[in-house]
Chain A
């Protein structure tokens, strides 16, 4: 991830430009430091709703024209909201990128938030929430998060709670937009087939005059040290039992980030942080312990960089002949093994090679490169994209054992279980017999 040009405009907008000439394509990603992390009680889901409204038009680009213009010019676009940030991207044939920049500069400050559009989007987002709620795993995931965070807003789902989505007003949305959408709270990432000086001039021309705003409200919340294991059970109709275990772990600024990333890779394979990767889980520890032994399917572990301390998670879907308690104990046993015996040099070397390959795959497309640079810019610094392999190379086997002992403890964990309601299981038996 070399060759990144960085410029900070007078209004505070950070611009990252990375020329890449392998295809006649350019991608534009505009990132804002706002997500569910910035939401208070009663306003959950508001960042995501604002993101939806940015597709609803400005006076210059009325409702329906943004999607149409980008696609008409051979591009694709979308936006997404996470816990820590919101991003908008367009990937276009190289000679069309100015269009994306014009739209982004305009909708940063001129989005209309028409009252009727706000009402229609309310039910669209409720439908999005209901689509997620059709999957049993969503209920378990939300419950584990809610139990793991008692103080920090990571407690809340990014989509928000239905009661808040019913209550949020147009005025709330507009205020949220005005608070967070400003050049000094944004990073523009451009990757692709361009001359950096020429494209920077276009950026300055379009974004340079946008007014800077006041500093954004800081998030003071700090999740306190957990004072004991928390357990929960979700009982709903579903096809199988599921287990999900989450440990409160440090964020990406901490010196233990690298060892935790390696620990995750030892459990279920190294993966790309930006898409484009390949699965490498079947030679890793959790697959051997749970899938090969026919106890479970869909076995995973996940540890992702976050702005504030988030979770290191493990989970699986329980095979019909087994119980969630068995799966939980095998998952915990795999953690204990690493705490007691550590990992091997061979495992560490494998993780390095896997990560090198995954990063190469993730760097192939301009879109994925911009995603990686922008993610790191939001969480810490874009330079982490380039130094990640070095960070991992510095990790020793003893570090991995140490972080497993420090963070993957009973005290710091939430254990969640999904148990299908009996009547749904009975329906299933009938279906199978029919």
Chain B
């Protein structure tokens, strides 16, 4: 079968003198520009658990005031032109993005540079932002999916591990974070750990000149950025561990099952990726969907997921079910997992997934934002600008035996964690 070519090899890759990596991909026919970028600074770099949420808070606070503009001036200027410029943080990275009509790209680049380089963290603005976060956490505390996922992470990861908690922190930690903490954490932002990707109707020379103008003299504060720290080891599970969170007023229970997964750079990654799609993604939701939803009619949402990034996140399965069906649904998920591990995928299933993964490449490149996200990911994981050209071969090189061996090794049916959140057992 032949598929339309999906290639990003004509991307211009350039490094500014200060170490900032720039990727530019012109799409002259599309009158929109998307900007995506990141810095290797995230929640894993937080000094201690008491300050959980510091990376997220710092990133969100950048727009709240710079040496040249107030929050209100920034939002007024950017929104008057219908563009966007925003920064947010996650577990390993701080990500920034922008979108504009080509005529407004200069403003977006100027503002992004200002946010990243010259934030002033005005105290009254920090109070407002903190209040919004506390409100949002208060709502999350009553959300079954959030609570089940939180319980799952606490069962899976040891106390010192950052994956034990969400990057957004807790009500307690957010109350403790001071302006000085934000100022200190911002010092981790450094051009040598940063990448910026620009895709759209642009002239590369013009973009490079503007980037040099706004970012060229950015030197950062610390001489070398703190790169990805070693994560604490995750002790292998030795048994089945379960937690049930009870929330009043709910009519559905969310269920998560998980085992420790793997990194994006792990040699097993592609085998796990394909296996996971067969298990809980392909054909709307893989085997789990067909068993729990299509054959047994128990859930609307059911799927599996593989959180493989800089570190090894969980390999998990999810279902949202009526509270009366919790144990039945867990049994159904476990039975499918057991079948999957014992008998493995069929060649036909693996062929389906290979065809999807290679065939859908063109769809991911349909928009400037899609191209920019793909390029950022390629750069971050060192995949090379020819990655999409090599991708079909990478996918086809993984054998059925490798996929089934990886499933057997990771998906341990005698050692896993299980978390539910829903109404009391008698309710629903």
Chain A residues within CB distance 8 Å of chain B: 21-25, 63-64, 67-68, 71-76, 91-96, 119-128, 130-131, 133-136, 236-240, 269-270, 276, 278-284, 291-292, 294, 297, 317, 319-320, 350, 353-358, 360-361, 364-367, 421, 423-424, 427-428, 431-432
A74-B3 contact in complex given A133-B251, A428-B142, C-beta closer than 8 Å: yes
**B303 → A minimal CB distance (Å):** 13
A283 touches B76 (CB 8 A): yes
Q: Please tell me if B299 contacts chain A, counting CB pairs below 8 Å.
A: yes
- Give every chain A residue within 8 A of B171 (Cβ-Cβ): 432
Q: Please tell me if B128 contacts chain A, counting CB pairs below 8 Å.
A: yes
- Give every chain A residue within 8 A of B127 (Cβ-Cβ): 294
> Considering the chains assembled together, what is the distance between the CA atoms of A237 and B5 in angstroms?
53
B249 touches A424 (CB 8 A): yes
B320 touches A75 (CB 8 A): no
- Give every chain A residue within 8 A of B250 (Cβ-Cβ): 134, 237
The contact string, 1 if C-beta is below 8 Å from chain A, for chain B 94-138, is 000001110010000000000000000000000110011011101
Q: Please tell me if B67 contacts chain A, counting CB pairs below 8 Å.
A: no
Q: Please tell me if B82 contacts chain A, counting CB pairs below 8 Å.
A: yes
- Give every chain B residue within 8 A of A360 (Cβ-Cβ): 31-32, 101
Chain B residues within CB distance 8 Å of chain A: 2-5, 27, 29-32, 72, 75-76, 79-84, 99-101, 104, 127-128, 131-132, 134-136, 138-139, 141-144, 171, 247-252, 282-284, 290, 293-301, 320-322, 352, 355-356, 358-363, 365-369
B356 touches A131 (CB 8 A): no
Name 6 interchain pairs, CB-CB below 8 A, sorted by A.
A72-B355, A123-B298, A291-B132, A292-B128, A297-B132, A424-B248
**B361 → A minimal CB distance (Å):** 8
CB within 8 A of A127: which of B5, B322, B367?
B322
- Give every chain A residue within 8 A of B136 (Cβ-Cβ): 297
A131 touches B82 (CB 8 A): no
A68-B283 contact in complex given A74-B359, A126-B322, A364-B367, C-beta closer than 8 Å: yes
- Give every chain B residue within 8 A of A75 (Cβ-Cβ): 359-360, 363
Q: For residue A356, which residue of chain B has the nearest CB?
A: B82
> Considering the chains assembled together, what is the distance between the CA atoms of A427 and B248 in angstroms?
9
**B149 → A minimal CB distance (Å):** 14
- Give every chain A residue within 8 A of B359 (Cβ-Cβ): 72-75, 93, 96
A364 touches B252 (CB 8 A): no
- Give every chain B residue within 8 A of A74 (Cβ-Cβ): 3, 355-356, 358-363
- Give every chain B residue within 8 A of A353 (Cβ-Cβ): 80-82
> Considering the chains assembled together, what is the distance between the CA atoms of A427 and B320 in angstroms?
23
Given contacts A23-B366, A280-B84, A354-B79, 18 further A-B contacts (CB under 8 A): A22-B30, A25-B366, A63-B294, A64-B294, A71-B282, A74-B355, A74-B363, A75-B359, A93-B362, A124-B297, A124-B298, A127-B299, A131-B252, A291-B132, A354-B80, A354-B82, A357-B104, A421-B249
**B394 → A minimal CB distance (Å):** 16
- Give every chain A residue within 8 A of B251 (Cβ-Cβ): 130, 133-134
**B117 → A minimal CB distance (Å):** 21
**A202 → B minimal CB distance (Å):** 18
A270-B82 contact in complex given A127-B299, A282-B75, C-beta closer than 8 Å: yes
CB within 8 A of B144: which of A73, A126, A134, A366?
A134
A127 touches B300 (CB 8 A): yes
- Give every chain B residue within 8 A of A122 (Cβ-Cβ): 297
A355 touches B82 (CB 8 A): yes
B366 touches A365 (CB 8 A): yes
**B362 → A minimal CB distance (Å):** 5
**A430 → B minimal CB distance (Å):** 11
- Give every chain B residue within 8 A of A72 (Cβ-Cβ): 352, 355-356, 359
A123-B142 contact in complex given A23-B365, A68-B352, A73-B355, C-beta closer than 8 Å: no
- Give every chain B residue within 8 A of A127 (Cβ-Cβ): 252, 298-301, 320-322
**B96 → A minimal CB distance (Å):** 14
B360 touches A22 (CB 8 A): no
- Give every chain A residue within 8 A of B143 (Cβ-Cβ): 134-135
**A124 → B minimal CB distance (Å):** 5
- Give every chain B residue within 8 A of A355 (Cβ-Cβ): 82
- Give every chain A residue within 8 A of B135 (Cβ-Cβ): 240, 297, 317, 319-320
Q: Which of A123, A317, A350, A367 has the most CB of B within 10 A?
A: A123
**B332 → A minimal CB distance (Å):** 13
> Considering the chains assembled together, what is the distance between the CA atoms of A224 and B295 in angstroms?
45
> Considering the chains assembled together, what is the distance between the CA atoms of A283 and B361 in angstroms?
37
- Give every chain A residue within 8 A of B369 (Cβ-Cβ): 364
B27 touches A22 (CB 8 A): yes
A279-B84 contact in complex given A22-B30, A71-B283, C-beta closer than 8 Å: yes
A431 touches B101 (CB 8 A): no
**B195 → A minimal CB distance (Å):** 21
- Give every chain B residue within 8 A of A119 (Cβ-Cβ): 297
- Give every chain A residue within 8 A of B290 (Cβ-Cβ): 64
- Give every chain B residue within 8 A of A367 (Cβ-Cβ): 366
- Give every chain A residue within 8 A of B247 (Cβ-Cβ): 237
B297 touches A120 (CB 8 A): yes
- Give every chain B residue within 8 A of A431 (Cβ-Cβ): 141
- Give every chain B residue within 8 A of A236 (Cβ-Cβ): 249
5 A-B pairs with least C-beta separation: A74-B359, A237-B249, A357-B82, A120-B297, A24-B4
Q: Which of B79, B128, B248, B300 has the most CB of A within 10 A?
A: B79
- Give every chain B residue within 8 A of A270 (Cβ-Cβ): 82
- Give every chain A residue within 8 A of B79 (Cβ-Cβ): 269, 280-284, 350, 354
> Considering the chains assembled together, what is the distance between the CA atoms of A69 and B148 in angstroms?
34
Q: For residue A296, which residue of chain B has the nearest CB?
A: B135
B142 touches A93 (CB 8 A): no
> Considering the chains assembled together, what is the distance between the CA atoms of A282 and B75 in angstroms?
6
**A403 → B minimal CB distance (Å):** 23
CB within 8 A of A294: which of B31, B128, B355, B360?
B128
A356 touches B101 (CB 8 A): yes
- Give every chain B residue within 8 A of A136 (Cβ-Cβ): 142, 249
> Considering the chains assembled together, what is the distance between the CA atoms of A280 and B85 in angstroms?
11
> Considering the chains assembled together, what is the distance between the CA atoms of A260 and B423 in angstroms?
42
**B357 → A minimal CB distance (Å):** 8
- Give every chain A residue within 8 A of B76 (Cβ-Cβ): 283
- Give every chain A residue within 8 A of B75 (Cβ-Cβ): 282-283
**A368 → B minimal CB distance (Å):** 9
